[in-house]
Amino acid sequence: MNSDSASYLLSELMNVAFLVCSPVLFVALGVGVLISILQVVTQIQEMTLTFVPKMLAVAGTIMLLSNWMLNLLKEFTEFTFYYAAGL
């Protein structure tokens, strides 16, 4: 394996990692911003108010998108093995 092959596989790995992680991170970000706005408007400064909705939203996102995430990871794994076999 030369450096071009390694950098290509690393680039593909980073793309897949971004695709798998980004929905969960964006949902957590969105819920966090909404809860922060709610806290500012109502002047409630409870720490668990930010944690519990984020946890539920992230768990729901993972449950909804887990099939897509696993298929993406499976396809990347198959691609990696086929690519490595051709070297």
Task: Quick: pLDDT tens for 65-84.
Answer: 999 999 999 999 999 999 98
pTM greater than the 0.85 cutoff? no
Q: How confident is the model at residue 63, as a pLDDT?
A: 97
Q: Which residues contact 50 (CB under 8 A, 6 or more apart)?
A: 32, 35, 36, 39
**CA 24 to chain CA centroid, nearest Å:** 5
Q: How far apart are CA 5 and CA 29, in angstroms?
A: 35
Model confidence pLDDT, tens digit, residues 13-61: 999 999 999 999 999 999 999 999 998 899 888 878 889 999 999 999 9
Q: How confident is the model at residue 13, as a pLDDT?
A: 95
